[in-house]
Amino acid sequence: MTTTAVLRRIGLGGITGSPIAIAVALALMVVLLAVPFGHNGYLEIVFRNILMYAAMAYGWNLIGGYTGYVSFGQVAFFGAGAYCSAVLSAHGIDNLFADVALACVVNALFAIVVGLPVLRLKGHYFAIATLGIALALSDIVANLDALGASSGLAVHHVDEAHFYVYYYAMWLVALATILGTYFIARSKLGFAFVAIRENEEAAAVLGIDATRYKITAWAISAMMAGAAGAVFAPANGFLDPSIAFSVDSNVFPIVMAILGGAGTVAGPFIGALILAGANELLQRYFIKIHTLFFGAMIVIVVLILPRGLVWLFGLKGGARTWLKSLTAYKA
Amino acid sequence: MTAAGQTATGVALRISDVGMRFGGLWALSEVSFDVEHGSVVGLIGPNGSGKTTLMNVVSGVYKPTTGSVTYDGRRIADVPTHAVCHLGIARTFQVVKPFASLTVRENVAVGAMYGRYGGKRSTRASFERAQELLEIVGLARVAERAASDLTIPDRKRLEVAKALALDPDVLLLDEVMAGLNATEVEEALELLRDVNRRGVTLIVVEHLMKAIVSISTTIIVLAEGRKIAQGAPADVLASPQVIEAYLGSRWVKRQEQLRIIEADREVAARVQPPEAGA
Amino acid sequence: MHLFAQDLVNGILAGGILAVVALGFSLVWGIMNIINLAHGAFLMLGAYLTYQLFASFHVDPFLSLPISFVVLFALGYLIQTYLINWVARAPILTIFLLTFGLSLLMVNIALIVWTGDQRGVTTAYSGANFTIADVTVPWTKLFTLLAALAITGIMQLWLTRSKTGRAIRATSMDIGAAQLSGVRVAHIYAIVYGLGAGLAGVAGTLISLSYAVNPGMGDPFLIKAFVVCVLGGLGSVEGALIGGLVYGIVEAFATQLDFTIGTQHISGSGLQDAIALVVLLIVLIVRPTGIMGKATA
């Protein structure tokens, strides 16, 4: 078996990735509906965070995984969405639908305005510019008195008995990002994104207006992250720049999407579930060294399944193929 | 332009006084010619004569330094790259550019989705169109393979299929027959003739002289960035200027000497008729 | 006027350190096309090494510069050879993630070994400074700047004059051609990654003189290294130096901004990162290959 064949088996399986993996992801989503019935506040928050990270990972996946523009700044959109809810709450509007709608509109506009100059950059330069946007926005918010500056502001939330509302809202946001990704990937839009990722010049020759589709991808990804932020803010009850623009919220979704499988439909969810789950368990049993295990886990997975865990689902030839793939990326 | 020029048999592409400079080097200068609707124009010339540069100018990838290329009266330089195919101009690349992680069929379907009539096609219709084209170019057997797995001749076929998926009126083909064996060249020529019969104007860059001569209605010869000849294949190839450009002046001189010797022999033969004729 | 001069001097002093921080990052990025997220962690290890040598054996931080370099070089060389090399031909994202994982590992090992407490390297000359024309200059920072200049100078000479340095530059220009002329690319990459780590270690030593040492100290410097690389252009020594100085100066002046719009008070000390990053964005958009940069792929 040639090297390219091994690589294809481990990393190429159509524009949506393995259908089995998608079915598994959706089945797990259905299972997650049951979490609030356990009446365990801790578990509910853990899984709500998993759903939140998953939604953000899908946002990143669309621009980074599908369109090939690796953004380090998706947390800017998450934070912007969270502050939308905070501002609405400060004006006496406490409605999750309004929160999510405002976050989506604001983020789409934000993404278009920022995207016009920034999406002209490629590769690492784009990555750094987006990181700059996220850090700058965090700094700016930390200095705006109207948004509570660095000391933050309270966001109204429902009483303890109805806390599950936030869980199901986040579940809906996550489901929307999964299904949205699935339908976008299979549509003409998805093919435009992948064509741009594979070769922007060749895509243009085939009639694809790269600027327009890159901005489309970025705006949708911004809405996904923003929606997650809009639900997070009232669920958390309090917002400040270090929470809204945290490094974890920036890095986790990227790691989750890549670990699960960037540019696939099931990858980000599976990545979020495994990573956040492992993080939680490790934190519980190895409180002092859990991040160490976390780091080790990332290193090991990258070395043994560089294109993401999701490809295990579609692996033809099982362990033998996988063993052969191990050396395929070696210099 | 007169009304007559706009009919289907009139001028499709007008290349007027095109010059292209890279730094201090003029890759093209003062190149002018018209391409008639429905014709097959063969573009030949030695390596480095500016053929691919001209293809890039005509397809809007480069903006010419001087002069202009107009298609049905519109300046191509004013049109963004992604909109050129919507005018009805498509091209293949000498260095093929498949989307490596997509399958062969998906590669062609992308063209069908975003090309000239892409707006009217659903995803499903685009895949159906892609399948048709794969059958036409002979790639149906590998439709499900990753484009990165194709052999070189198959990649060339894929380039043609992608360009055809854009539903062009004018198709620019940059060395699509390089690396093909004799049978494959015959097949490719048959395919191109078929495409041309459907009303697509072709501009063909090729090194294989036999192929170019057999398919072209007009041949244009470039040398060092200038057009040195234009006309019917037989006439152009007989032109000493073309022979000189291709084979060098020493060869031409030698041919000249040979011709003189030939002529001398002929004269001698006339003076002393062979014995057999007596 | 004197405030202006003081800001300028502060900026240059800070910029010298940033140049060394960015130098190794820039070489790894420019030559291997790797965004090395472990760079901040290497820097942190260099700082702890300096701290430990100083605390346990009273080794002067300036004397531990070569030790930091050698130890971190060896670590980087091994990581490249035995880990990164396994995925050398993977998409860039994969390597990015790998370096992130490595960074987490190193930071957390440091957390276990040294705990999260702030440590400092306080030498006899730590607080000393001198004043010229109303401008105060701390001696440690001046020496740090001189050391930084010396290090960039040595790197530049080594890269242009030595055989290995030339092989490195050849590899960055054209891998294929370098391979054909007998350069062992895997070995060169290991050396470059080692250099990146070694220079980060040296930067960590210099930083430990003026800043607190803790496991998370590398992160802000990692981000600044990014910015400096963009300002100066990739993979060039003089680019890192100039980028570092420009960034240091911009940041120093940004700190002094102080004005009010309506009821909103804006103070530069809170916004210094934002201002630097806005400068970065403008540079990126106007001149994507950096101020000094040449066109790169």
- Residues forming beta bridges with residue C129, ordered by sequence position: C138
Q: Do B110 and A8 touch (CB under 8 A)?
A: no
Q: What is the distance, to the nearest Å, from the Cα of residue C271 to the centroid of all Cα atoms in its chain?
A: 22
* Rounded distance between C-alpha atoms, residue A260 and residue A275, angstroms: 9
Q: Provide the pLDDT for residue A31.
A: 93
Mean pLDDT of C222-245: 84
Task: Indicate the residue of A194, A207, A209 with minimum beta-carbon distance to B102.
Answer: A194
Q: Provide the pLDDT for residue C294.
A: 47
Q: Do chains B and A touch (3 or more CB pairs under 8 A)?
A: yes
**Is the pLDDT reported for residue B1 higher than 50?**
no
Interface of A with C in 187-246 (CB under 8 A): none
Mean pLDDT of B142-167: 88
**Is the pLDDT reported for residue C158 higher than 70?**
yes
Interface residue of A188, A194, A196 to substitute, partner B, most B CBs within 10 Å: A188
* Residue with token string 């030695």: B46
pLDDT in tens, B193-236: 999 998 899 999 988 888 888 899 999 988 888 888 888 888 88
Q: Provide the pLDDT for residue A3.
A: 45
Closest-approach residue (CA) in chain B for A14: B102
Q: Do A150 and C270 touch (CB under 8 A)?
A: yes
Q: Do C219 and A298 touch (CB under 8 A)?
A: no
Among A186, A189, A208, A190, which Cα is nearest to A199's? Answer: A208
Q: Do B146 and A204 touch (CB under 8 A)?
A: no
SS3 C152: helix
Tokens of A30: 């259905």
Q: Provide the pLDDT for residue A315.
A: 66
* Inter-chain contacts counted by CB atoms under 8 A, chains A and B: 87
Q: Do C271 and A117 touch (CB under 8 A)?
A: no
A125 residue type, one letter:
Y
**Is the pLDDT reported for residue C114 higher than 60?**
yes
Q: Provide the pLDDT for residue A187.
A: 92
Q: For chain B, give the percent of residues with pLDDT over 90.
A: 31
* Rounded distance between C-alpha atoms, residue C279 and residue A132, angstroms: 10
- Residues forming beta bridges with residue B14, ordered by sequence position: B34, B70
From chain A, pick out residues whose CB is under 8 angstroms from the CB of C98. Answer: 298-299, 302-303
**Is the pLDDT reported for residue C132 higher than 50?**
yes
Look up the CATH number of the domain holding residue A122: 1.10.3470
Which one-letter DSSP state was computed for residue C38?
Answer: T
C-alpha separations of B243 from B51, B212, B220, B227, C257 in Å: 17, 16, 13, 14, 74
Backbone angles phi, psi at B220, to 5 degrees: -120, 135
The full set of domain ranges for chain B reads 239-272
* Rounded distance between C-alpha atoms, residue C230 and residue C280, angstroms: 7
Q: Provide the pLDDT for residue A277.
A: 86
- What range does the domain containing A39 cover? 3-325
Q: For chain B, give the percent of residues with pLDDT over 70.
A: 88
Residue A9 touches chain C, beta carbons under 8 Å: no
Is residue C103 within 8 Å of residue A319, measured between CB atoms?
no
Task: Indicate the residue of A4, A14, A203 with minimum beta-carbon distance to B149.
Answer: A4
* Rounded distance between C-alpha atoms, residue C203 and residue C224, angstroms: 13
Residue A20 touches chain B, beta carbons under 8 Å: no
Q: Is residue A273 part of a domain?
A: yes
Residue A172: CB atoms within 10 Å: 16
Q: Both ends of chain A: CA-CA distance in Å?
A: 19
**Is the pLDDT reported for residue C261 higher than 60?**
yes
Mean pLDDT of C90-112: 86
Mean pLDDT of B118-147: 90
Q: In this predicted structure, which of A54-68, A277-291, B139-153, B248-262 has the lowest mean pLDDT?
A: B248-262
Helix crossing, C185-210 with C2-32: angle to 10°? 160
Q: Is residue A331 part of a domain?
A: no
**Is the pLDDT reported for residue C6 higher than 90?**
no
Is the four-CA dihedral C59, C63, C64, C70 of positive or negative sign? Answer: negative
* Rounded distance between C-alpha atoms, residue B169 and residue B116, angstroms: 10
Residues A298, A301, A306: CA angle, nearest 5 degrees? 115
* Rounded distance between C-alpha atoms, residue A153 and residue A240, angstroms: 6
- Residues forming beta bridges with residue C267, ordered by sequence position: C258
Q: Provide the pLDDT for residue A1.
A: 36
Among C272, C203, C210, C158, which Cα is nearest to C19's? Answer: C203
Specify the DSSP element, H or E, that contains B40: strand B40-44
* Inter-chain contacts counted by CB atoms under 8 A, chains A and C: 150
CB burial of residue C89 (10 Å; 0-12, 13-18, 19+) = middle
From chain A, pick out residues whose CB is under 8 angstroms from the CB of C263. Answer: 145
**Is the pLDDT reported for residue C295 higher than 70?**
no
Q: Do A206 and B109 touch (CB under 8 A)?
A: no
Task: Indicate the residue of C105, C267, C284 with minimum beta-carbon distance to A295.
Answer: C105
Q: Do C274 and A288 touch (CB under 8 A)?
A: no
Q: Is residue A177 part of a domain?
A: yes
Q: Provide the pLDDT for residue A182.
A: 95
Q: Do A139 and C277 touch (CB under 8 A)?
A: yes
Residue B102 touches chain A, beta carbons under 8 Å: yes
Q: Do B82 and A209 touch (CB under 8 A)?
A: yes
Residue B118 touches chain A, beta carbons under 8 Å: yes
Residue B117 touches chain A, beta carbons under 8 Å: no
Tokens of B76: 């191509």
A35 residue type, one letter:
V
Mean pLDDT of C104-124: 87
Tokens of B84: 């050129």
pLDDT in tens, B33-67: 999 999 999 998 888 888 888 988 988 888 899 99
Q: Flag residues of chain A having pLDDT under 50.
A: 1-3, 5-11
Mean pLDDT of B69-96: 87
* Rounded distance between C-alpha atoms, residue B33 and residue B13, angstroms: 8
Mean pLDDT of C137-150: 87
- Complete domains list, chain C, with CATH: 2-286 (1.10.3470)
Q: What is the distance, to the nearest Å, from the Cα of residue C295 to the centroid of all Cα atoms in its chain?
A: 23
- The whole-angstrom distance between C99's CA and the closest CA on chain A is 8
Interface of A with C in 129-158 (CB under 8 A): 129, 131-133, 135-136, 139-140, 142-146, 150
Residues C43, C44, C50: CA angle, nearest 5 degrees? 95
Q: Is residue A330 part of a domain?
A: no
Q: Provide the pLDDT for residue A166.
A: 92
Burial B215-238 (b: 16+ CB within 10 A, else e): bbebbbbbbebbbbbbeebeebbe
Which one-letter DSSP state was computed for residue B9?
Answer: T
**Structural domain total, chain A:** 1
* Rounded distance between C-alpha atoms, residue C21 and residue C144, angstroms: 12
Pair type for strands B170-174 and B89-91: parallel
Average pLDDT over chain B, rounded to an integer? 83
Interface of A with B in 288-317 (CB under 8 A): none
Residues C225, C226, C231: CA angle, nearest 5 degrees? 95
Is residue A279 within 8 Å of residue A290, measured between CB atoms?
yes
